[in-house]
């Protein structure tokens, strides 16, 4: 189980979080009240050039001191604050959500093509693996992730997401099965620009995790979805794969289909499977991945989890259920069910 819904406004018009909260709440039976979350793009226009680093602190003494120190060593903290929250009757507050707006010093990462991103990635891994009581769960520019253990409406009200306006929204209602429901384990998962929501179970997790670990990533959130965010970062940002081909690596055509392709296409698909076989994801899943310039949704190769897409004007919706989409927009131009492994891509107009 788990319920996912996402929307992109291709003209970059802002949407506040109230309607996606309603849509996600419609899928309450897909969760168990142990995790929900929202990601929104474009929510920090005043700090658009800074990395918005969201953390959970266990307390504000030791872990925060250590995080302050490491961030100051690697760049400049422009602004920091506790993420505003409102206590909810059925949400037990176990973490303190905090955010920094941070600019890394690129001269400290010589030899990197993308020094700022590499510094942020390194800091996320370092904080999450070495500072007890601190967990970075969001680290992109002009992006905010808001998640906790609780029902969708409680989490939305806790963070007051109707106060934020974004042009891309992702939302997730969790039914934890393999690992405990906890604040860090709620979706979305994020690294840099990448945010991920996922319904299902990635049976290739062990392979995927060990693959990305050999590129310096460290999984710390005890769920299989975390690897998807890191794989996106590796394949897209660091290896330069276009989004369609990144999804092709995650959910490639079967060899029989590849064998029937015409030569250039066959060679390309061969190369993707041979090179990125360890990034192939198995098991039942429906995933939506977002970056600042759009969203992409896809399922596993035999579509063991539902995924519905719909369009209304400039907006593209991808969700577990059509009813949830219609909660956000009752009048849809086009509704369809994507094929297994076939990506649905919504790009923001540049």
Partner 1 sequence: MNPGSVPAKFKVRIDADQCMLCERCVENCPYGTYRREGEHISVDSRRCVACHRCVAMCPRDSITIEEKPVDYRSHPLWTRESREAIYNQARTGRIVLAGMGNASDLPIIFDRLLLDACQVTNPSIDPLREPMELRTYIGKKPRKLDLRKKRNGDIELKTRLHPNLRLNTPIMIGHMSYGAISLNAQLSMARAVASEGTFMGTGEGGLHPALREFQDNMIVQVASGRFGVDIDYLERGAAIEIKIGQGAKPGIGGHLPGEKIDPDISQTRMIPERSDAISPAPHHDIYSIEDLKQLVHSLKEATEWKKPVFVKIAAVHNVAAIASGIARSSADAVVIDGFRGGTGAAPRVFRDHVGIPIEAAIAAVDQKLRSQGIRNEVSIIASGGIRDAAEVTKAIALGADAIYIGTAALIAMGCRVCGTCYRGLCPWGIATQNSSLTRRLNPDVEWQHVANLIRGWTLEISELMGAAGINSIESLRGNRDRLRGYLLDEAMMNILDVQPVGA
User: What residues act catalytically?
Assistant: 2
Q: Can you name the residues that pair with 285 across neighbouring β-strands?
A: 200
Q: What gap in Å lies between CA 317 and CA 246, rounded to an integer?
A: 20
Output the smallest distance, CB 130 to partner 1, in A: 18
Q: What gap in Å lies between CA 293 and CA 295, rounded to an integer?
A: 7
180 in contact with partner 1 (CB under 8 A): no
188: cis peptide before it, omega within 30°?
yes
**How many other CB atoms are there within 10 angstroms of residue 275's CB atom?**
13
C-alpha count within 13 angstroms, C-beta hemisphere, residue 203: 7
Query: Within 298-327, which residues bind partner 1 (CB under 8 A)?
Result: 301-302, 304
Scanning 33-41, 97-105, 152-160, 249-257 for contacts with partner 1 by CB under 8 A, the matching segment is: 249-257
Which C-beta is closer to partner 1: that of 93 or that of 270? 270
Are the beta carbons of 30 and 1 closer than 8 angstroms? yes
Scanning 3-11, 51-59, 108-116, 262-270 for contacts with partner 1 by CB under 8 A, the matching segment is: 262-270
Output the smallest distance, CB 216 to partner 1, in A: 8
107 in contact with partner 1 (CB under 8 A): no
Query: E strands along the chain, which residues?
Result: 3-9, 15-16, 36-41, 51-57, 75-82, 96-104, 134-138, 143-148, 165-166, 168-173, 189-191, 194-200, 285-291, 294-299, 308-312, 315-319, 334-336, 344-347
Output the smallest distance, CB 233 to partner 1, in A: 13
187 in contact with partner 1 (CB under 8 A): no
Query: Within 53-82, which residues bind partner 1 (CB under 8 A)?
Result: none
Are the beta carbons of 348 and 315 closer than 8 angstroms? no
**Residue window 129-168: x/- pattern of binding to partner 1, with contact defined by CB under 8 A:** ----------------------------------------
Output the smallest distance, CB 3 to partner 1, in A: 15
Which C-beta is closer to partner 1: that of 75 or that of 341? 341
Pairing of strands 36-41, 15-16: unpaired
Position among 256, 262, 330, 331 found at the interface with partner 1 (CB under 8 A): 256
Output the smallest distance, CB 331 to partner 1, in A: 32
The length of the chain is: 350
Are the beta carbons of 130 and 124 closer than 8 angstroms? no
**How many other CB atoms are there within 10 angstroms of residue 307's CB atom?**
25
203 in contact with partner 1 (CB under 8 A): yes
Q: What gap in Å lies between CA 40 and CA 269, rounded to an integer?
A: 33
Position among 254, 260, 336, 349 found at the interface with partner 1 (CB under 8 A): 254
**Residue window 206-245: x/- pattern of binding to partner 1, with contact defined by CB under 8 A:** xx-xxx-xxx----------------------xxxxx--x
Are the beta carbons of 315 and 329 closer than 8 angstroms? yes
Position among 156, 228, 272, 288 found at the interface with partner 1 (CB under 8 A): 272
Secondary structure of residue 137 in the 3-state scheme: strand
Are the beta carbons of 159 and 89 closer than 8 angstroms? no
247 in contact with partner 1 (CB under 8 A): no
Binding site for partner 1 (CB under 8 A): 177-178, 200-201, 203-207, 209-211, 213-215, 238-242, 245, 254-256, 264, 267-268, 270-278, 280-284, 301-302, 304
């Amino acid at each position: 189980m788990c319920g996912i819904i996402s929307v992109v406004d291709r003209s970059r018009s802002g949407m506040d979080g109230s309607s996606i909260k309603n849509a996600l709440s419609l899928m309450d039976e897909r969760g168990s009240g142990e995790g929900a979350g929202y990601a929104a793009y474009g929510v920090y226009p005043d700090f658009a050039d800074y990395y918005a680093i969201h953390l959970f602190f266990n307390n504000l003494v030791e872990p925060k001191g250590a995080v302050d120190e490491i961030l100051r060593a690697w760049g400049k903290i422009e602004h920091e604050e506790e993420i505003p929250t409102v206590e909810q009757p059925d949400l037990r507050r176990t973490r303190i959500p905090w955010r920094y707006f941070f600019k890394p010093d690129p001269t400290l990462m010589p030899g990197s093509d993308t020094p700022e991103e590499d510094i942020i990635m390194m800091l996320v891994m370092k904080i999450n693996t070495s500072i007890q009581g601190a967990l970075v769960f969001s680290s992109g520019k002009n992006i905010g992730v808001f998640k906790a253990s609780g029902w969708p409406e409680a989490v939305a009200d806790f963070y007051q997401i109707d106060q934020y306006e974004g042009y891309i929204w992702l939302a997730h209602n969790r039914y934890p099965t393999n690992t405990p429901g906890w604040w860090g384990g709620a979706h979305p998962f994020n690294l840099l620009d990448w945010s991920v929501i996922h319904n299902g179970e990635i049976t290739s997790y062990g392979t995927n995790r060990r693959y990305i670990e050999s590129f310096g990533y460290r999984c710390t959130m005890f769920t299989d979805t975390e690897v998807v965010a890191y794989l996106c970062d590796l394949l897209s940002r660091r290896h330069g794969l276009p989004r369609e081909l990144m999804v092709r690596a995650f959910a490639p055509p079967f060899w029989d289909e590849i064998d029937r392709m015409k030569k250039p296409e066959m060679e390309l698909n061969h190369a993707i499977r041979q090179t990125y076989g360890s990034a192939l994801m198995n098991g039942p899943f429906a995933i939506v991945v977002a970056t600042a310039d759009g969203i992409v949704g896809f399922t596993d190769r035999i579509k063991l989890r539902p995924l519905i897409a719909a369009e209304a004007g400039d907006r593209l919706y991808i969700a577990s259920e059509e009813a949830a989409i219609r909660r956000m927009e009752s009048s849809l131009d086009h509704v369809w069910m994507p094929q297994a492994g076939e990506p649905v891509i919504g790009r923001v107009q540049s």
